[in-house]
């Protein structure tokens, strides 16, 4: 079926969801267009294909390990809400069916991560043992990912499962706001946040690997949710 007819997966609740036929010559460009069309529609859950809302994406817990230089503290986040994922500009969404690989490049104008935090350790020159609300904002974030998958047969259909991969994050600016860093001392709270924001690049570079691993696992989980319900044939033929 030619993709120009914009065929749909029959059970999709959103009639505007787009799919592509891998046998068509412009399959690669169609997939990028489909991703750009479909992702912004995820402003509510689609339980039929196990996809949550991306506005916001809710993550119960997130653990970022200690950095190697300026952040000698494990960061524990709870009740996270991440805003801005639905505003992605998809630059690349490319399946290599021979290598069983998916490569993705996306740019986000602004990502806001609102979580309850727990910090115990040292950030820059500050010894911190505290918990409270936090907000981290990433401006003009670029995500580049490569995921490998395997194929499994079930009910005479082929399903894919993403088993490994990596993700890198870059941002033009990162800002931090941690409340209650020093309970009862608002002046010190403001000073800590001010110094962190003045040194955002140093801090972000030190902990970025942990964020990349955690977010990469989250993205892989979302892909696996979808492809556990949607077969290879339903997605690409």
What CATH number does the domain containing 153 carry? 3.15.10.30
- How many Å apart are CA 90 and CA 27, to the nearest integer? 15
Hey, what are 211's tokens?
Answer: 């964020």
* 17 located within any domain: no
Contact call for residues 130 and 182 (beta carbons, < 8 A)? yes
- Is the alpha carbon torsion for 224, 229, 231, 234 positive or negative? negative
Residue 158 clears pLDDT 90, i.e. is over it: yes
- Which tens digit of pLDDT belongs to each residue from 109-122? 999 999 999 999 99
CA distance 46 to 14: 9
- Render pLDDT for 53-66 as a digit per residue (tens, 0 to 9): 999 999 999 999 99
Average pLDDT of every residue of the chain: 91
Q: How far apart are CA 120 and CA 122, in angstroms?
A: 7
Mean pLDDT value of segment 211-225: 94
Q: Given this model, what pLDDT does residue 93 score?
A: 96
What pLDDT is attached to residue 10?
Answer: 45
Vertex 36 angle, CA 102 and 169, to 5°: 55
pLDDT for the residue 155: 86
Q: State both tokens at 87.
A: 């505003």
- Which residues form the domain of 62? 53-236
Percent of the chain with pLDDT over 70: 93
SS3 category, 76: strand
**Residue 138: which pLDDT band, with cuts at 50, 70 and 90?**
very high
Tokens of 228: 């556990």
Q: Is the pLDDT of residue 2 over 50?
A: no
Judge whether 216 lies within some domain. Answer: yes
8 pLDDT band, cuts 50/70/90, is: very low
Instruction: Flag whether pLDDT at 4 surpasses 60.
Output: no
Q: Is residue 29 part of a domain?
A: no
The closest of 112, 102, 165 to 138, measured between CA atoms, is 112
109 occurs within a structural domain: yes
In a domain, 66, yes or no: yes
Q: Name the pLDDT band for 235 (thresholds 50, 70, 90).
A: confident
Contact yes or no for 153/121 (Cβ under 8 A): no
Q: If you write DSSP's letter for every residue of 123-141 in order, what string do you get?
A: ETTEEEEEEEEEEEEEEEE
Distances from the Cα of 2 to the Cα of 18, 38, 56, 72, 93, angstroms:
12, 18, 34, 54, 19
Is residue 206, in this structure, part of any structural domain at all? yes
Q: Report the C-alpha gap between 237 and 232 in whole angstroms.
A: 8
DSSP state letter for 100: T
List helix spans (H) across 22-65.
Answer: 27-38
**pTM exceeds cut of 0.85:** yes
Is the predicted pLDDT of residue 14 greater than 50, yes or no? no
User: Does a structural domain hold residue 21?
Assistant: no
Domain presence at residue 190: yes
Considering its fold, how many domains does the chain have in total? 1
């Amino acid at each position: 079926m030619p993709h120009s007819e914009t065929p749909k997966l029959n059970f999709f609740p959103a009639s505007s969801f787009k799919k592509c036929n891998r046998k068509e010559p412009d399959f690669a460009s169609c997939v990028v267009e489909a991703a750009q069309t479909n992702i912004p529609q995820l402003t509510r859950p689609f339980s039929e294909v196990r996809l949550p809302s991306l506005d916001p994406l809710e993550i119960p817990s997130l653990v970022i390990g200690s950095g190697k230089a300026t952040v000698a503290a494990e960061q524990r986040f709870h009740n996270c809400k991440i805003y801005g994922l639905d505003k992605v500009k998809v630059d690349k969404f490319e399946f290599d069916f021979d290598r069983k690989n998916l490569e993705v490049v996306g740019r986000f104008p602004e990502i806001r991560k609102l979580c309850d935090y727990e910090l115990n350790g040292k950030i820059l020159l500050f010894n911190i043992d505290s918990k409270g609300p936090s907000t981290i904002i990433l401006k003009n974030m670029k995500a580049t990912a490569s995921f490998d998958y395997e194929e499994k047969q079930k009910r005479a259909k082929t399903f894919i499962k993403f088993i490994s991969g990596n993700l890198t994050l870059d941002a033009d600016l990162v800002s931090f706001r941690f409340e209650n860093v020093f309970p009862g001392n608002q002046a010190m709270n403001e000073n800590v946040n001010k110094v962190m924001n003045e040194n955002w690049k140093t801090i972000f570079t030190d902990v970025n690997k942990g964020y990349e691993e955690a977010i990469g696992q989250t993205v892989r989980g979302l892909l696996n949710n979808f492809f556990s319900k949607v077969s290879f044939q339903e997605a690409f033929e």
